[in-house]
Structure formats: C-alpha cells, structure tokens
Structure 1
Amino acid sequence: MLHRNESATFVLIHGGGSTSWDWHLVAPVLRELGHDVVAVDLPIEDDANGISELADAVVEACGDRTDLAIVAHSWGGLVAPVVAARVPAELLVFVSALIPKPGEAPNAWWSASGYNDLGISFETEEKEIELFYNGVPADLITASYATARDQSWARGDEPTPLKAWPEVPTRFLLCRDDRFMPPEFARAQVRDRLGITPDEIDGGHMVALSRPRELAERLHRLWTEPRRETDPA
C-alpha cells in the first residue's frame, strides 16, 4: 500500500450556474480536519470561456500548492479531469458529477451518457428545488438561488480538451437520495466511464448543503486511506 501526505489541499469545483458558495459549509470542516482548501469561482458567464479556460482558472487558483485533491460537483465534473491533467493532483473525486469521455463535448454528455433517456426535466424553479435540493434547509435554498449565476453555453458543443484520462487515482461519491442523478444511473455511469465501484453517502444532489460535515469527513477519508498499488502514480 502507498500512502499520501497527511494533509491535502482540497480544490473544490462547483456545479453549473453556481459559485464557490456551494462549498462554504464543507470548507471549514476540511480545514478543521487539517487540510487547506481552494474553492474556485469558475468564470462561467463569459461566452469566450470553454472547458479549457474554466480549467485554467482552477489551475491558476491552485498556484504552487502540492498534495492536491481535485473535487468536483455536478457539471463541474466536466472540468475536473482537465485540471487534474494540468496540476500535480494526487486524487480526483467526483461528487454526484458528470463524467466526461476524452474528446466528448459538454453538450453531448446528456445523450451520450444515456441521461436524456431518464426523462428528467427541471424547467421550473419548483421542479429544480424538488430535484436538486431535497434535504437542504429552506434558508440555504434561498441563499443558493441568491448566489446563482447565468452560465454561458456558447462553447458547449466544442470537444473537451481532455485527450486521455489523467493518471490520477479517481473516486466517485454517489448520493443515495439524489433525484437529479439517480443512484442507478450514477452506478452505470461510473461503471461505464471509470470502470470502478462508487463510494456512497446519504443525501441529495446538493449534499454539500444538506450534509456538509458528512461530506467533508468522507473526502478526508478518501484522502487518508492508503492508495491501492493498482492506482495510477
């Protein structure tokens, strides 16, 4: 078994149309557990920015830090492996996130992954709350909507700059109560695209708001557990 350093820098990537605020309850717990935290606001509003530019923003925020654990939620999963290929990452974690294939355009994920076949829609705010925010306190739902941003989809049809999967140990944290990404779909996606079995946690899609301590403690465990000898170096 191979071991990492005791402390990590957790690089937290938010989902689509959102901000680093999503992680504001998780970050203090990670720091309490002895880690550094970098929570990035992706420049998602700008039509000039595609996946490559969003990844560049995360890389810049990392600076010269080492012992990096890249953590992505939801749509941020399309950015995370590009970041992991550009920085000295030691761990890559998808939290109920989209998993891209090399060369796949962001907008193509929905059909290529089979997600569109689920028939899940969220055209209204009421439906969004039902799908994304189950288990989240009402005041945090209100605050989340207050921090939301319009996301540009102008370059969503461009292939991802990811040419090959980064040689970084990769985990997927499935949320058992997720209505946006149902567990059955998530397990199939992880099996097809990563070839691994996901870790699981209670909570809905916005688990960082509904169960922040449990999420932070699970991320800590994923970091501190010994690396398997079969993991990429």
Structure 2
Amino acid sequence: MSSEKMIFIFMLLLSLISSGNCSDKKHYVLVHGAGHGAWSWYKVKPLLESAGHRVTAVDLAASGINMKKIEDVDTFSQYNKPLLQLLATIPSNKKVILVGHSLGGLNIAHAMEKFPLKVLVGVFLGAFVPDTQHRPSYVLEKYNERTPPAAWGDTVFDSTGNKTTMLFGPQILANKLYQLSPVEDLELAKALVRRSSLFVENLSKQKNFSKQRYGSVPRVYIVCAKDLAIPLEYQSWMIQNAGFNDVLKIKGADHMAMNSKPEEVFDSLHNISTKYA
C-alpha cells in the first residue's frame, strides 16, 4: 500500500472518530425526577460527552427552565410532553438510550410505550418502575402506602385542580435526597427545585403499559445502595415486580447518585451502551 493511501485511511479514521460516527457512540436522553430539571445532570452529562456520546438532558413541563407552571399541567402526558416531542424528532433508523431518575422512571416508561422502536435500552436510576400488570400509578400508590407521613419531612403538599402538588423543603433535601452529596449540590437544589406532582390521580386512570411496546424494550436498573428516598428494599421489590434484563448497583450512592457518585453513574451508563450496542 502506498504511503498516500495509508495517510488517507489514517485521516479518514480520525475524521470518523472526531465526528462521533463510530458505532460505539450513542445518544443518551437524561430525564430528571420530580421537582428537579435538566440541571441535575450537570456532572454526568459532560462525562458522557467527553467519551464521545451525544447527550440531551430534558426539562419536563414546569421543571427546570421550562416556562410552564405546575398549576397549568393537568396530566402526566402534558408533564411528559417535552420528552415525547424530543423522541418524535429522532429519525426512524436511530435509537436513543433513555435514562430516568426517580419519578423520571415513569416518564421514560411512557416514552418507551409511545416510541418502542426508537429506544435502544431504558435505564432506571434509583427510579420508580411500572409493570405491565397494573395501572401506571401502582408503584407510586404502593410507595405511598409504605411511607408514613412523617417521612416526607418538610415537603409541602397542596391540592391544585385535579392533582396533588409537592415542594421539597430544605430538610428533606438534606436528609433524604442529598445526604451523601456535596454540600454545593444541596445548595444548588435548594435554589432550583420547583413545585411538582407525582400525578398519581391521573396515572390511576390510564391504561396499563403493554408487553408489546414498553415491555419489549430492554431495561436495566441501577440500584442506589444508600438511597433514603426510595429505599433499597423498595428498589428491590420494584425490580422483582417489573423484571429486568440487567441490574447494576452503585455502592455509597444516595438518591441523587448523579451528584454523590457521578463517575460511577457514568461508568454504568457507558458499560450499558457497550453491552446494548
């Protein structure tokens, strides 16, 4: 082979790597939990991008910098509209890795039901997980049954229209969600967390997610071992109840694993992308 051809091939390979067209580069879509926003992924997003992946962190309705007010969001579908709009723009020959944290597990499940052919794998990071045997509200109702009112601490609940809204107070943020996260992340949350809802009332009226759509997409659960908001035993129950292709575990991770253990979250997501390539 001539030196000119060798140089051309070398330059072509460099071009492919720099443009992110190699087969191991994936598109991650990161979905936050209740009260939070795309900002909660600020540590994990650049780690994935530095590995060459494309990353989109979504602000759901009335979350982050989304301009809607929770009072004007009546249904879970309206709350999830930004994620569904994003997936609608994904070409039919492309697939994304959906990552849902906390309540975001229900958001990605809803998206998997709507766009099963556009999702390579659904990743539930310390998240609520619906099954296909019960209404989408089932895991939230079971969670509420086992959680005494005192466990919500200084969370402020209110009735707005057809739903119950909630706003995490500084004490529950510090003691149940961010207890192992850097204090800077706790302060960020105190400044940015917004009033939200679990939309239990609306989800209780929706049809079950189907085996043919939501149930057909590979699912991976990442256990947060030191989570006090969704305790380990409840994460384990949901895993058994819903069934998963793989289960990973991050030791020492509180509920906000992307803050307390960002590199471990990155490693888990990067390994998932390799396995489900």
TM range (shorter): 0.7 to 0.9
- Is 2:205 aligned against 1:156? no
CA deviation map 1:28-59 (0-9, x unaligned): 00111121111100004253342223333112
The one-letter code sitting in structure 1 at the alignment partner of 2:135 is E
Report what 1:17 is aligned to: 35
Match for 1:48 among 73, 84, 108?
Answer: 73
Report what 1:34 is aligned to: 52
C-alpha change, 1:8 and 1:201, in structure 2 (3 Å) is same
What is the rounded CA distance, in whole Å, between the counterparts of 1:60 and 1:79 in structure 2? 13
Q: CA RMSD in A?
A: 2.3
Match for 1:104 among 119, 129, 135?
Answer: 135
Match for 1:61 among 77, 83, 86?
Answer: 86
The one-letter code sitting in structure 2 at the alignment partner of 1:204 is D
C-alpha change, 1:26 and 1:160, in structure 2 (3 Å) is farther
Question: Structure 2, unaligned stretches of length 5 or more?
Answer: 1-21, 63-69, 155-169
Report what 2:12 is aligned to: none
- Is 2:24 aligned against 1:6? yes
Q: What secondary structure does 1:79 align onto? A: helix
What is the rounded CA distance, in whole Å, between the counterparts of 2:43 and 2:219 in structure 1? 24
Report what 1:172 is aligned to: 221
CA deviation map 1:18-37 (0-9, x unaligned): 11100011100011112111
Shift of 1:215: 0.5
Q: What secondary structure does 2:29 align onto? A: strand
C-alpha change, 1:195 and 1:130, in structure 2 (3 Å) is same
The one-letter code sitting in structure 2 at the alignment partner of 1:58 is L
Report what 1:94 is aligned to: 124
8 Å CA contact 2:34, 2:197 repeated in 1: no
What is the rounded CA distance, in whole Å, between the counterparts of 2:244 and 2:99 in structure 1? 18
What is the rounded CA distance, in whole Å, between the counterparts of 2:25 and 2:241 in structure 1? 31
The one-letter code sitting in structure 1 at the alignment partner of 2:231 is P
C-alpha change, 1:195 and 1:31, in structure 2 (3 Å) is closer
Q: What secondary structure does 1:204 align onto? A: coil
Between the aligned residues of both structures, percent identity stands at: 22
- Is 2:179 aligned against 1:134? yes
What is the rounded CA distance, in whole Å, between the counterparts of 1:115 and 1:187 in structure 2? 16
What is the rounded CA distance, in whole Å, between the counterparts of 1:40 and 1:226 in structure 2? 22
What is the rounded CA distance, in whole Å, between the counterparts of 2:27 and 2:50 in structure 1? 13
Question: Structure 1, unaligned stretches of length 5 or more?
Answer: 228-233
CA deviation map 1:159-189 (0-9, x unaligned): 3455314111101100111111221221121
C-alpha change, 1:121 and 1:67, in structure 2 (3 Å) is same
8 Å CA contact 2:135, 2:209 repeated in 1: no
CA deviation map 1:107-144 (0-9, x unaligned): x53333x5532547122232332111121111110111
Report what 1:116 is aligned to: 145
Report what 1:218 is aligned to: 268
8 Å CA contact 2:173, 2:186 repeated in 1: no
What is the rounded CA distance, in whole Å, between the counterparts of 1:209 and 1:20 in structure 2? 13
C-alpha change, 1:90 and 1:46, in structure 2 (3 Å) is farther
Shift of 1:67: 2.6
The one-letter code sitting in structure 1 at the alignment partner of 2:25 is S
What is the rounded CA distance, in whole Å, between the counterparts of 1:46 and 1:7 in structure 2? 39
What is the rounded CA distance, in whole Å, between the counterparts of 1:42 and 1:226 in structure 2? 26
Of structures 1 and 2, the one with the larger relative CO (CA 8 A, separation 6+) is: 1
- Which has the larger displacement, 185-194 or 114-123? 114-123
